[in-house]
Chains A and B, each alone.
Chain A
């Protein structure tokens, strides 16, 4: 019996704005609980929402990057229900007339069709709409309370809903990764699941292949990373298949992914299917994109997406596909690369140093800032190329730059790593080594040129690794003639 899995995704993405959707509170992550609040986002009496223009601009960018049909007029609604994270007793969202509909995203995935040598898959996007986020709740084990932090209440979100498609869980994750990349590249969001700026619920059903009817849909919540999303989908798919094989029915319900036990469990009560009702939002009479203010948003050029940047890197900097792919895996890294080149490093050097040395020390997946500035790395590269330090020493300097943030020159000075390049000084050492190794010199003169390697080794050792190897070699060769 062959089954196929139908997967639909409901993705919430925090827009990269400075302030909240309807008030001027900061959206910065990590503030003290309830520090970023005001009467509006706390739902105090007499307050009214005022829409953040930038939220609309970013949402429109996302809409265009995802090839959607934009509704020239869209409406706001209230989703009314009671929950401690919802200060107004309703969430402002868009229901019947969302910002845009009917888009799609192509992405690379093994499970896709081969196209120009790569497997391309394709997921349709049903709709994207604007809404405000709710606050954050914590449920401590030891007390009969729920702790509320309203910092997140009112943060601008877009909700992206995909059309259910028969795909493998891996393909869904590949889609999410591409979506994240697109959102990063367009500056819409940094999409960090660990910070909650990207959240995903999964709707999943199974059916026997060939069947026309869709199976019963189950919603899975509490998915905190791409890895967990994958695991949860695989597990749930299994669970549903087993039920069907036993002749049982799959219950339509919302289930929670338990990360620790690696299972989905039914969610106990209302929040899974919170009773709510939708009303118009009279305080926001609608979004008319035909007006002056929004026309520029619709017409502004989209920032370079990853695929474009890849191609450009290969052309402009003469990089291989492999190098370009690694450098563009993350917009921050790609920008960094270009900064290094801008500050004078040759593209191939910059690529080399980043791929070999920097990535040894810094993991793009961490999404932290690179502690060594592009300018500083360019300086370091220059110092190595000039011969001021050896490549090896350069590695050590980079490590130190990473640790301490000091400039390469300072570190070289402090640690006395400067390469000796003066012929006079090196000659002294070469002469000494030749004097101490007369046998080797004799061997060389008999034609066994390989012994020069041994002599070089001795010379470098005598110079404590600080001799410029090129100059040393030159002098040695001269002297051996």
Chain B
């Protein structure tokens, strides 16, 4: 499938129209998505309409924007006007938001074509995308494996070439972990760097919208479009020079960027880490050292408490955020309410409208607000405070932290239950950044012997996405992983 560079070149030179390009993406989706399940809704008509409008503007010589004519897949918990937003739940099966989310407005202003709403874990709760009420999602690299979650559909869409760009959301790792499992790049920006207006809330003090793409530069391009413009992220406000950066002899240019960059690697990450992932992690260490960065192992004991604290706090927030779903003003409502009183009606609506995992988290979160368990909730809050303090100290010492993204390789879809109730494992390396609010990026680090993607994660201080992009680009170019694409049966690349 065509890269952004190729698309933009084609539009510029008139080799093909936006409509033709979009049609080819839609064709591919039609042909291959049955096996993957990346989309809940494909926006056939809307996308073609948008494409036509863009073609008209091109023909008038207009600048169609930094994402002009580029298809973007949007996670189905981000509101789109006129196109349903379901959160992969029965509860919102027919919900159509009256407004676009802020990020969607930004996408449209930048000329992007919204190609579809991607599948996910229901209400973003999960790390395998196994709890969608609609259909399961498969990892394009190996259809028997999970794509990770909760932004599994977005990650799979990019990996399978259904769209060069996608939006996901990250609450405990939901962009980075599927990015890792699907061999793509995913950024969780600094909390507050991207507007949440129009993102359907799961845990509001953690939720972050972020970009996903096949290369770091593409990811940066999308980030620049969706971020709040009045902030300085250190990130370029001009479009990154994609064309030239890929042409250059990268090594020299990237090394210059890495000189004296202080990178920390937490020892605790090696504990319980899959062997092959560990190898890939250590290889990255070498690459950075060779590039001139100052790499240092250190101890971050706070990591161990993260997943538990995250689970308690996010579940408590979820219980509150999902209280609005009662089927009264919108959303799922049982067919035959008979003589039920108000409370019984909403009980039925909620119990049937929500899936198991969502109910489970709401219940756990509600327990955590009961006075008898207050001590646990308070402890989780203290852990969060500790982590913020630890993180502050950390970035006095380091510019970046290098960590694995996932302790395990992409696992079997059939085995997802094993992991579902052991989420602590899956969020181990990602939740810490959500607890602190700092930005973190996952990029492809390599493959296992059986061809499964393994990601690497970089984390930085608040609003230092530019450093993340820089360091990630260096690693990306030296590894060359992004050049490999999954082979989907019957696929003509």
Interface residues of A (CB under 8 A from B): 39, 42-48, 78, 80, 82, 84, 87-90, 144, 146, 277, 279-280, 282-283
Residues of B within 8 Å of A78, CB to CB, are: 320
Residues of B within 8 Å of A42, CB to CB, are: 329
Interface pair B197/A46, CB less than 8 Å apart: yes
Which of B13-21, B127-135, B146-154, B338-346 forms part of the interface with chain A? B338-346
Contact A282-B97, Cβ < 8 Å, known A45-B79, A84-B328, A89-B323: no
Interface pair A43/B79, CB less than 8 Å apart: no
A54 CA to B203 CA in the complex, in Å?
A: 29
> How big is chain B's contact interface, by range?
35 or more
Identity of the chain A residue whose Cβ is nearest the Cβ of B369 in the assembled complex: A277
Interface pair A46/B200, CB less than 8 Å apart: yes
One of B197, B203, B366, B370 near A48 (C-beta < 8 A): B197
Contact A88-B323, Cβ < 8 Å, known A45-B79, A45-B92, A279-B317: yes
Residues of A within 8 Å of B197, CB to CB, are: 46-48
Within 8 A of A (CB), among B160-190: none
Identity of the chain A residue whose Cβ is nearest the Cβ of B377 in the assembled complex: A279
Interface residues of B (CB under 8 A from A): 78-79, 85, 87, 92, 95, 97-99, 101, 196-201, 203-205, 316-317, 319-320, 322-326, 328-330, 339, 342-343, 346, 366, 369-370
Interface pair A279/B101, CB less than 8 Å apart: no
Identity of the chain B residue whose Cβ is nearest the Cβ of A83 in the assembled complex: B342
Residues of B within 8 Å of A88, CB to CB, are: 323-324
Identity of the chain A residue whose Cβ is nearest the Cβ of B339 in the assembled complex: A144
Residues of A within 8 Å of B198, CB to CB, are: 46
Contact A282-B323, Cβ < 8 Å, known A45-B85, A46-B79, A84-B328: no
Cβ distance B404 to chain A, nearest Cβ, rounded Å = 29
Residues of B within 8 Å of A84, CB to CB, are: 328, 342
Residues of A within 8 Å of B78, CB to CB, are: 46
The 30 sampled A-B contact pairs (Cβ below 8 Å) are A39-B97, A39-B99, A42-B329, A44-B98, A44-B324, A45-B85, A45-B87, A45-B325, A46-B78, A46-B79, A46-B97, A46-B198, A48-B197, A48-B201, A78-B320, A80-B319, A80-B320, A80-B369, A82-B323, A82-B326, A84-B328, A87-B329, A88-B324, A89-B324, A90-B323, A144-B339, A277-B369, A279-B316, A279-B317, A282-B317
Between A46, A88, A277, the greatest number of chain B beta carbons within 10 A of the residue's beta carbon is seen for A46
Contact A283-B204, Cβ < 8 Å, known A46-B198, A89-B323, A144-B339: yes
A88 CA to B323 CA in the complex, in Å?
A: 6
Cβ distance A273 to chain B, nearest Cβ, rounded Å = 15
Interface pair A45/B342, CB less than 8 Å apart: no
Residues of A within 8 Å of B87, CB to CB, are: 45
Residues of B within 8 Å of A39, CB to CB, are: 97-99
One of B85, B317, B319, B323 near A46 (C-beta < 8 A): B85
A89 CA to B205 CA in the complex, in Å?
A: 18
Cβ distance B475 to chain A, nearest Cβ, rounded Å = 34
Cβ distance A167 to chain B, nearest Cβ, rounded Å = 34
A232 CA to B403 CA in the complex, in Å?
A: 67
Interface pair A44/B329, CB less than 8 Å apart: yes
Residues of A within 8 Å of B342, CB to CB, are: 84, 146
Residues of B within 8 Å of A277, CB to CB, are: 366, 369-370
Residues of B within 8 Å of A87, CB to CB, are: 324, 329
Identity of the chain B residue whose Cβ is nearest the Cβ of A42 in the assembled complex: B329
Cβ distance B470 to chain A, nearest Cβ, rounded Å = 30
Identity of the chain B residue whose Cβ is nearest the Cβ of A81 in the assembled complex: B323
A87 CA to B85 CA in the complex, in Å?
A: 19
Interface pair A44/B205, CB less than 8 Å apart: no
Residues of B within 8 Å of A48, CB to CB, are: 196-197, 201
A90 CA to B158 CA in the complex, in Å?
A: 38
Cβ distance B161 to chain A, nearest Cβ, rounded Å = 29
A44 CA to B198 CA in the complex, in Å?
A: 10
Residues of A within 8 Å of B200, CB to CB, are: 45-46
Cβ distance B171 to chain A, nearest Cβ, rounded Å = 12
A87 CA to B370 CA in the complex, in Å?
A: 22
Cβ distance B187 to chain A, nearest Cβ, rounded Å = 21
Identity of the chain A residue whose Cβ is nearest the Cβ of B204 in the assembled complex: A282
Q: Which 9 A-B pairs have the closest CB atoms?
A: A89-B323, A282-B205, A282-B204, A43-B324, A46-B79, A277-B369, A45-B200, A46-B198, A46-B200
Interface pair B346/A279, CB less than 8 Å apart: no
Identity of the chain B residue whose Cβ is nearest the Cβ of A150 in the assembled complex: B329
A90 CA to B95 CA in the complex, in Å?
A: 21
Residues of B within 8 Å of A283, CB to CB, are: 204
Interface pair A279/B97, CB less than 8 Å apart: no
A43 CA to B327 CA in the complex, in Å?
A: 12
A103 CA to B320 CA in the complex, in Å?
A: 33
